[in-house]
Structure 1
Amino acid sequence: MVESLPQTRSVSAEAAAENRAWVSDLSSTGDRRELASRRLYDVLLRAARSEAGRRAARLRLAGPELDDIAHQAAADALLAICGKVETFRGDCKFTTWAYKFVIFDVGAKVNRHFWQRAGVAFDEEDWERLPARLGVGPEAHAESRDLMAAVRRAVDETLTAKQRTVFVALVLNGMPTDVLAEQLGATQNAIYKTMFDARRKLRTALIAAGYLQEHQPA
């Protein structure tokens, strides 16, 4: 039997009643649980489609491919929520709590798709942010167009496939290290080491091309 959720000041009486209904229905069995799961899936799918659409432009994702990511994220989030429903404390709307699961799942799946998909093209805006993310000083930005071209060549020509995967995911796509490690089946220390080696190679290439000084960090 599901215990009553504590009353909190952060939700209205109506929201608290709705929260209790969600928890009770999803904690039950048979048709009652099935119907609640279907209702929640529809809610999660709408949120997943919205979040996937927001993230997809830079990856050129659209149509069935994008919708598949949304469906997968909604399904995985539903399983996670049903497994943890009795941990819901009731200090926000139940759907707000549920959205956190599906948004995380969309992010993980989009990021996984990002590094698995061959030939992803990056916007100019991505590369324009790259020198600052590499720690290139403002004095080098006077030749920023040539610098970006040099960095692009260095990424393509000097990094291994694994180093490019890690570099692109962390630096260009802003993927969290722990998420990337999970997706690659690696430890965070291994990801840090790969990124360190990639940065060192890029620094060496930029020094050789005359864009950095020996003492200037990359």
Structure 2
Amino acid sequence: MSVGDEVPEFRRPSLDAPTDTDGWRRALTSGGAVQRSAEGHLYALLLRVARGEVRRRAPSLPFSGPELDDIAHQAAGDAVVGILRRLHEFRGDSRFTTWAYTFAIFEVSSKVGRHFWQQPTVSLDASGWDRLPDRLGISPEEAGAARDLLAALQEAIDTLLTRRQREVLLEVVVRGVPLDALAVARKTTRGALYKTLFDARRKLRGYLVTHHYLDDDEGVT
């Protein structure tokens, strides 16, 4: 499901919400009015979680307003569907609500990741190149003192990095795409992306140090 898709509908709760893990489990498997009411309570609970997660991510997202709330509603609805489908897997190692929260957060990550991936392929314009040194930990004094550092950095990105390293670096460092969102979009793990980003930064730092643009103990880390 992506932005603009229909959100699963859950009826307004007609009974009190379950108060503990066993209560949630019983209510969500009981059928009839009890289950429908519990589903409504669960949707409302996960909507609050999804909205909080969306607000946390909002500064790094290229959209705002109603679209953010749309993502939260979709994430909450899909999270409830996922929970109902996988309720038999819940072993009770944590509170039910704690387990349920992870579904909402994952769905927000998934939808944000898909939204980013629907955008044109990332590229750097002039302002993007100007922001890159700061994002890589190169101080304004260093960047300002040697403007040809930007040319060297561009040369290193174009010639030293693999295509995957370059894409991940630009998505995460320049566009500010959260790692978990990018992981969903690329169908990989956060850890794998972190290693790709770490290796790319290390290559760039080594190039800049070797060519005397940075001191050995400064710059890209």
Aligning the two structures, in what range does the TM-score lie when normalised by the shorter sequence? 0.5 to 0.7
In 1, Cα distance between equivalents of 2:40 and 2:152:
47
Shift of 1:53: 1.5
Which structure carries more helix by proportion?
Answer: 1
Shift of 1:167: 1.2
Is contact 2:109–2:184 with CA below 8 Å preserved after alignment?
no
Q: Which moved more, 1:36-45 or 1:114-123?
A: 114-123
SS in 2 for 1:27: coil
SS in 2 for 1:108: helix
Is contact 1:163–1:194 with CA below 8 Å preserved after alignment?
yes
Shift of 1:184: 1.8
- Pairing partner for 1:104 from 103, 106, 109: 106
| Gap change, CA 1:90 and 1:169, over 3 Å in 2 | same
1:131 is matched by which residue type in structure 2? L
Shift of 1:62: 1.2
| Gap change, CA 1:197 and 1:115, over 3 Å in 2 | farther
TM-score by length of 1: 0.61
RMSD between superposed Cα atoms in Å: 4.6
1:10 corresponds in structure 2 to none
Q: Per-residue displacement from partner, 1:73-129 (whole Å, max 9, x unpaired)?
A: 11221122223334151643x323322221232233324433543479999xx8575
1:62 corresponds in structure 2 to 64
| Gap change, CA 1:114 and 1:190, over 3 Å in 2 | same
1:24 corresponds in structure 2 to 26
Quick one: percent identity of the two aligned structures?
Answer: 39
Q: Which moved more, 1:32-41 or 1:81-90?
A: 81-90
In 2, Cα distance between equivalents of 1:147 and 1:20:
64
2:3 corresponds in structure 1 to none
Q: Which moved more, 1:94-103 or 1:208-217?
A: 208-217
Gaps of at least 5 residues in structure 2 are 1-16
1:45 corresponds in structure 2 to 47
TM-score by length of 2: 0.60
2:136 corresponds in structure 1 to 131
SS in 1 for 2:28: helix
In 1, Cα distance between equivalents of 2:25 and 2:202:
52
2:92 is matched by which residue type in structure 1? R
1:72 is matched by which residue type in structure 2? Q
In 1, Cα distance between equivalents of 2:52 and 2:23:
26
Q: How does 1:168-183 map to 2 (within 5 A)?
A: 168-171=170-173, 173=176, 175-176=178-179, 180-183=182-185
Aligned length: 194
SS in 1 for 2:213: coil
| Gap change, CA 1:211 and 1:43, over 3 Å in 2 | same
| Gap change, CA 1:20 and 1:214, over 3 Å in 2 | closer
In 1, Cα distance between equivalents of 2:93 and 2:136:
45
Q: Which moved more, 1:113-122 or 1:71-80?
A: 113-122
In 1, Cα distance between equivalents of 2:151 and 2:47:
39
In 2, Cα distance between equivalents of 1:152 and 1:62:
36
Shift of 1:44: 0.9
1:143 corresponds in structure 2 to 142
- Pairing partner for 2:92 from 85, 89, 92: 89
2:142 is matched by which residue type in structure 1? E
